[in-house]
Structure 1
Amino acid sequence: MQDPYHEVQSEIQSSLQNAINLRSSYQRIKSTAGADSEELAWARNELNATLTTLEADLEDLEGSVKMVEETGARMFGLEEDEVMRRRKYVAQVKREIDNMKRELTSDSSRRQADKPTPRNDAAESRTDEEEWAEQEQQMMIHQQDRTLTDIQGTLTTLAQQAGLMGTEISEHVEMLDDLERNVDRTDSKLNTAMKKLQKFIRDTEETKSGWCIGILIVILCVLLLMVVLI
């Protein structure tokens, strides 16, 4: 059976490194920009979206580990130590994700506490739930954009492959046409050669017949001469 762990782990590691880089960028912007900075909001939403995707990938990785455990490590050619190492890796990544999410949640709560309480209509104030819902919506839109980008890249690749296949087919058709023309020329030359051979045979046969008749006439003349002389 095929072990899906390493392929999923590679994607996890790439997404985790991306999240770490975004976290560093977010912290840098937070230390220099204001709480209402658009750049800071973008960095926070980007990190949130990456963490959401990373959590989904981590579930797949955890599922692959569970599959190995349920099926039996021996079926995949693995030892128990390797299975334990994979469990630890999943737990480590999960802790890093949780730490980054807690940091974002703490920053969000701190910004909410620092906001002055409006003195007019309370309906205009934004609650934590509303802000979180908006962030979730932005993350969903971001995820959809990434999916559409992936689909577009796949379609572009397919179009390029189709173009290459069309070029190869055209080249093969040209090669077949050349082969057909060569076969026709060869067949024509062969027919010409056969006709020449047949003509040569006929000419040879006619020439041999003439020589035979001539020899017979000479012999007959000699015999008549001998009879006359005798």
Structure 2
Amino acid sequence: MSIDPYHAVQREISSSLQAAAQLRASYVRIRNMAVREDNEELVWARNELKATLAALEADLEDLDESVKIVESTDARMFGLDDMEVQERRRYVVHVRKEIDNMRAEITSSAPRPSSRPHSPYPERERAQPMEEDHQGAWAREEQQLMIREQDRTMESIAGTLSTLAQQAGLMGQEIVEHNELLDDLERGVDQTDSKLSDAMRRMRKFLRQSEEKGSGWCIIILIIVLTILLLLIIIL
């Protein structure tokens, strides 16, 4: 029996969702520090988060399609019960809601303007841009690490989904072959029944003719012939 890869795909999508949440946290941190909306680090973080959500949503669509296939057919054909199918549907809805929330935050958010009073310590004011540069470099490095990890996860998900599609195709082919075998068996039974009915009809006709003529020896010959016919039918 084929192994259901759903749970492996679910774990991989959950891992990707966590990576997206980390990117979102980095984006929010940079947004809170940024003064202008066209800040280079902010734009980069926003674009990376958008790309991550787009890839995650594409994988979720594939998983949703597999759930729809199970919902539209008999779940027992896949070794599942109704509760398991409902749980899979709830998971898809949950992930989609998380993606929508992150995307809504990206489209509705804007950097908060920073209004700082004049500092009596100009040396500290000059040191702050350098500290922000270090923080930005650290944030970019962190996001690059998460993106590389996410790329590896996406490749694994793609392989698992491909396996799922192949297994679904094999299951469909097996069902078609079983239906063909059942059709052949039904045709064979019909042919045998037809031959047997024809032989019985001939026997009854011959018996009636023999009774009318009073030919006992014909009855014996008929019995022998019918016995041979029945043996031939059974052998064929």
TM-score, with normalisation over the residues of structure 2?
A: 0.45
The structure having more radius of gyration, on CA atoms, is: 1
State the TM-score, normalizing by the size of structure 1. 0.46
